[in-house]
Each structure stands twice: as structure tokens, then as C-alpha cells.
Structure 1
Amino acid sequence: MSDDYWNDEEPISPDAEDLRLQIAQARRRLYDREKERRDARRAWSREYYAQHREEYLEYQRQHRAAIRQKDPEAYRQAKRQRDQRWRDKHKDEVNAKLREKYRTDPEKHRQRRREHYAANAEEQRARRREYYARNKERQLATQRAWRDREKRRRDAGLPPRRLHRVSRDDRIAHRADADAFFTREWTTAELSEALRSVATPPELVAAFKRDSLRARAAYHLAEQKEELARLHKELDRARPGPKPTRTLQAVEEARLDAIGREVNERLRHREPARHPHHLDPAAPHPMLQPNHPMGMNR
């Protein structure tokens, strides 16, 4: 990368009016320069690796051999982790390959499973017992759901659900038939016949319209009855009469009564506030108590 990269571009004019445009141009140039450097570095690395590929592979083999010799268990653990990371990253691809391998010869895989179970029967049973004990409530709930489903099926008179295996050739043929059926173009006559088969009979449409009109009429009648009842209630309600007018004499008497109440309130004799010794007639007078801040002891 040449150091004169900035000189190849048009210099930013300090007299430009839009400062934000200048900043955007500078950032774009910086990004382009960094991107060009990264691309050049990648190209150089690829070329160097292609020229020294055998040396790199030999170095990797020696490094793995040294790690395996130093700690075989750690090497195997690291390899398992690398393989697991690769499988997690390519999960769909691995599953598709396994499914295709199973479909090619399913009997071979079934035989291998049967042989493995026969050779490790006790281990398999112990594992199942342990799983059942660990998930007992879940297993019981699944069993109850299955019994309820079977009871509903028997009550409805339905046949038991049976799944059967299909060979690879049959699956291919079925898929081809399904594609041919769903991708073909339907003619106008076929579409008309299909629509006619699911069309609603005219007598049902007429009955639905009649029921709708009756329901709508009943609803409007109920609304009118409620409105009529509300109007009758408003009409039957007693109208408030005119406000009573007060004469000048009544106003003057009310004023004098208010003045009299105020005078009586001010001149009324009030009982003085009671002190604690008033509650006990035999208690000594406060003036006779020692250390009193009032009177002779002050």
C-alpha cells in the first residue's frame, strides 16, 4: 500500500460550506483505505499459504503429535470439542446426510440397533429406569394424556392410529405424485365443479337471511321499547316548581336572627378549662404544692 494514498484523492477544501459533507468524505476515504489494506493482506496471505502449503501441513502435524504425546487425554478432549463445534455449526447438513444414509438401507441400521441393545440390554434398561425416576411426573402426565386420547377415540368409534414405514422408492413416488397433483393447472370447468361442490344450498342462504332479518327486527324493537320507557320516566318525573320568593320583612328578620345568634355566642358564659386537680376534689391546691413556679415559691 502506497503512503501517498491521500495524495491520490482530491484534497478537502477548507472553504467548503457543508462541514458534515467533509466529515463524511473523510470517513469514506479512511474506510476505503482500511478495506484496501485488509484485502491486500488477505491476498498476500492466500498466496503465501499456497506457496508453502506442505510446510504448514507438516508443522500442524508435528504440533498435534507433540500435544498428543504430552497429554493424550487432553488432546482427545480438545478434538471432541472441535468436532462438536463443527457439527453444531453444520447441524442441518449432518442431519440431512444421516437421514439419507438411513433411507438408503434402513434394515441395516435397525439390525445394528437390535444387536447393540442385545449386547447392552441391562445398561439400556437401567438408563430407562433412571430416566423414568428423574421424570416421573412428566411420564405419568404423558400416560394419562394417552389414556384420555384413546378413550375419546373409542367413544367416537374411530380406528386406532397406525403408522407404517414406507420404503425409499415409495416415498419418491409419493412425492412425485404430490408434486404433479399440486403443481398442475386447473381448468375452468374443474374450478367451477370444485366451487359447486362446496357451495351453500340456496334454501340455507334464504333461511339465514330470514333469521338475520328477524333478529335485527327484534333488536330494533327492544331498543325502541327501552327508549319509550326512558321517555315515560322523564315525563312522570315531578317538575320542580318556581323558587319561593322572600319578602323584605323575611329578609330583615333573618338578618336580625343572625345578629342575635352572634351576640349570644360572644356573651355566653363559658366554663373555664379544667385542670388535673379538678378531677379529684380531695387533691391539694396547686399553690400549696412545693417547688411551684407560681406564688410564694417562685
Structure 2
Amino acid sequence: MTDASTTRWYLMMKCTLQRIVQLGGPESFSRPVALAIFNQYWVLESLRTLAFDEDNALADPKWLSLLGRAEESSTRKVATERDHTRLLRCMALLGRLNYRSLSWLVRARAMRYSNSLPTNNISSLRDSIHLGEGKDIIQEGHMVRQELLKLAPDLHTHNWIQGRSLYDLMMSLYHCGPISLSRLFIDPLWSILGEPLPMLPEDAIRYHAIAALEHLQRRLQVAGMESVFFLPLLTTVALEVRSRVYRDKISRIFDSVEGKGFAVAATARSDTQLAWALVGSSGGG
């Protein structure tokens, strides 16, 4: 808790919990109680992979198949659980998409530099394969966006049987999804593919950021030790707001998490304030 970096949090998730889950395999989580625990791990692992730009192994078919068990019934309870798992699926796919898109950009920059050298003759086949991979990533982005958009009405209308705190957690995760997805394709290099990008308009991104902040505020009021795991979501929101009012709210949340004993919140707050100083502020969202 006194670690001001993210090292211990990272190592706990990747080197301890992930290893236990991967060694056990999907068959270890067939019972309801084990599956409920696994769903909590799913959220934390998805946040970790997004925060550290790593691949999310939970996007593999063998793990995604665990999420399909609640989809055969239409009762309210099971429908709620079904939409919960739909959101978890989107988070895993978004984590893998983030990793693939960043890897593609690294290769694109390297190829762009190599092609600019007069003595270098890059194979046109290699170029075409890379462009094809980029288009596949864009299409996957559109698919994830559609999944999120279809999920929104159901998340809003369900009577959440496990209480308001679960609802606020799920809505925080949901609203951060379109923000993260849109920012994956902000690099100008994606424009060379000539494909429409799965990005939301800026006003829609601000709407999702403010909505996520409201849910995070309510959730963190009742959160205990788990509050540290919401820092990636809070950082996602913080980078999108310009208003001093919202920034003050975010700073107070960082203070609250730090007050629970997590020194890493002070580091996250400092990094966020540096980013705010670089982009300035405004009176709007």
C-alpha cells in the first residue's frame, strides 16, 4: 500500500493471480461461486492490460466461452447477469484490440521510416499484409463499438439485483469503453488505410467521461480496499475533462483513494495534473 509506483499492483495481478487462473484453466471455474470470483478477476485483469498496454489472454475463445452460460434464459436475474458478461466480453476484446493497435502502429512507423531510406527496398507484399492487418483491426474496432452501443440500453434499464454499487461499477466500466476505443485510433497513421474509424465525436466522448465520473464518485464512496483498482478508470476520465469543476472532483477522488492508504493514488494524481497543465482548461466539459 505504501508503494507509490504501480509495480506491486502490477506484479500481484500478473505474476500471482494471472498465474493461478491460467494454470487452473477454464474448467476450474465451472461452479457458480468459482465463476463469480473469476468474474471479479476478469474486471481487474482487463483494467491491468489496458493500463499497461498488454495483451489480454481472456480474449481467447477458451476464456470467452465461460461468459456464455447465462444466455439461455430470459429471466430478469439471468438477463442482468447476461448483460454483465457481455460487458466483460467487451472489456477483454478492447484490451486485445488496444494491444494489437499499438503493435500495428509501432510496425507502421518502422516501415514508414524504412521506406524513406533510399537504399531500402521494402517488399510490397509485406506492405500489403501490414495494411490488411490494420484494416482487420479497424473492423474489429467497429465490432466492439457495436457491441457497446447495443449493450447500453440494457444496462440502463435493468433493476440491478445486487445493489446500486454494482450498477455504478458496471456503468463506470461501460462509459470508459467508448472513450478508450475512440482514443485507440487517434494516431494520424490510421488515415493511410482509407477506412472509416470507430471513433466517437468529441462531444460524445465528453458525455461518456462525465457520466463515468458520476458513477465512479458514487461507487468509490462505498469502496474499501478495492478502490485502488479504479485508478485506471479515473485516469481515463481525467484525460478527457477540461472543466475546473470536474477536475476538482477528480482530484478529490484521488485524495480519497490515497486516504485509504494507497500511495500510488498520489502518483496518479501528479501525472494527471501534469497532463492537465499541458492541455489547459476551459469552462465546458
Q: Same fold (TM over 0.5)?
A: no
Larger radius of gyration: 1
The interval holding the TM-score normalised by the smaller chain is: under 0.3
TM-score, normalised to structure 1, is 0.17
Structure of greater relative contact order (alpha carbons < 8 Å, 6+ residues apart):
2
